[in-house]
Amino acid sequence: MSARAAAAMQVDRESAARSRRIDPAALEGIEAEIEACHRISHRKRLAEVAPFAAIYLAGAWLAGLEGGGWPALAAGVLVMGVAMNSLGILIHEGLHGLLARSPVANHFWSFLCGLPLLMSAAAYRKTHTDHHFEFGRKADFGTYRQHLGKPALVWCAYLLQLFFGSVIYILLIPVLGMRGAAPRVRAMIVIELLLIAAFVALLVRHFPAQALLTYWLAPAVVMMALTNVRGLASHALGDLGDIHLSSRTVTTNRLVRFLFLHENYHLEHHLFPQVPSYHLERAHRLVWSRLPRALHAPSYLGFLRGFFRSLRGLSLAPLGVVAPMQNPPAGKP
């Protein structure tokens, strides 16, 4: 086993000890394959990221197409927003140390991914570490039921996440990141926020408002809508006390899996937090049929239909419970 893979699997085991993770017996016979899923590949990361740069440039060309009118502008903004959605997933990868083997390089790339999102990588890493290691407990602000209790309040939080989640996170993550952080981390958060403010000031000074709206702010609205739906589907209407029912896998179609960098496999991500996004589908195929139960949705639209059905009665019952051992769900790749 490589040193890096061994360290990554150790992090997974430590996370398991704190958060009631998967039964080790479920991994018997596939340990080597799971180890391989933990390996970082810069080549695979580049192959994963490069298409989104091309997608953004195509959207920018379309939005600026002379004579294209509002249909070309709207289509271009949509395409750029889809491309920008990858930044939120990539900064998440960086929080787990998965963008580069070097911690310094990893944080640098994480910061750059967060810059257009106005997100401090240091603050986000602090809150996201709490989300994994303290999952379902008071220090975890990625889930709500342990904080709010009453179904009506939990549903208010779900709806706020669906419609305004990204904006709320941008505002709250620096505040939550400061709580209980070491002085060095707090200093890093302040430095990153100052750099983000300088970045915005430079953009406002050197680019026309129309250009900023077309090529940044309007696509960011599309990105935030996608992020809100993806984030809500990850944990909403689950059982925080049961690892198998705490996070949801959305099998969906190949296009959406590609556009979401396989973050649709969110149960697998919580089972193996140190597996890079480009190996999550492989991890899914390895472990899915070994799980006694899981939260599943065949698509994000399917999840939303079930979500709004549950809203009518303010039900917090787990949504989409399946038994993969006995009956793998339709849509499994």
pLDDT at 248: 98
Identity of residue 129: T
**Contact call for residues 95 and 146 (beta carbons, < 8 A):** no
**Contact call for residues 287 and 26 (beta carbons, < 8 A):** yes
**Contact call for residues 248 and 235 (beta carbons, < 8 A):** yes
Residues whose CB falls within 8 Å of the CB of residue 81, separated by 6 or more in sequence, listed in order: 59, 218, 219, 220, 221, 222, 223, 225, 226
pLDDT at 17: 43
Strands 294-297 and 248-250: parallel
Strand ordering across the sheet containing 248-250: 248-250, 294-297, 321-322
10 Å CB burial of residue 67 (0-12, 13-18, 19+) is exposed
Rounded to two decimals, what is the model's pTM? Answer: 0.90
How many angstroms separate the CA atoms of 261 and 259, rounded? 6
> Helix or strand or coil: residue 292?
coil
How many angstroms separate the CA atoms of 13 and 31, rounded? 13
pLDDT at 16: 47
* Structure-derived torsion over alpha carbons of residues 40, 34, 270, 251, reported in degrees to the nearest 10: 100
Look up residue 329 and give its DSSP letter: P
Q: pLDDT of 211-260, one tens digit each?
A: 999 999 999 999 999 999 999 999 999 999 999 999 999 999 999 999 99
**Among the listed residues 128, 127, 96, 146, the one whose alpha carbon sits nearest the alpha carbon of residue 246:** 146
Within a 13 Å sphere around the CA of 14, how many CA atoms are in the beta-carbon half?
Answer: 10
How many angstroms separate the CA atoms of 175 and 152, rounded? 25
pLDDT tens string for the chain (333 positions)?
A: 555 555 555 555 555 444 456 777 778 899 999 999 999 999 999 999 999 999 999 999 999 998 889 999 999 999 999 999 999 999 999 999 999 999 999 999 999 999 999 999 999 999 999 999 999 899 999 999 999 989 999 999 999 999 999 999 999 999 999 998 999 999 999 999 999 999 999 999 999 999 999 999 999 999 999 999 999 999 999 999 999 999 999 999 999 999 999 999 999 999 999 999 999 999 999 999 999 999 999 999 999 999 999 999 999 999 999 999 887 544 444
> Helix or strand or coil: residue 21?
coil
Domain ranges of the chain: 1-37+240-333, 40-236
The sign of the CA dihedral 87, 283, 98, 54 is negative
Q: pLDDT of 70-96, one tens digit each?
A: 999 999 999 999 999 999 999 999 999
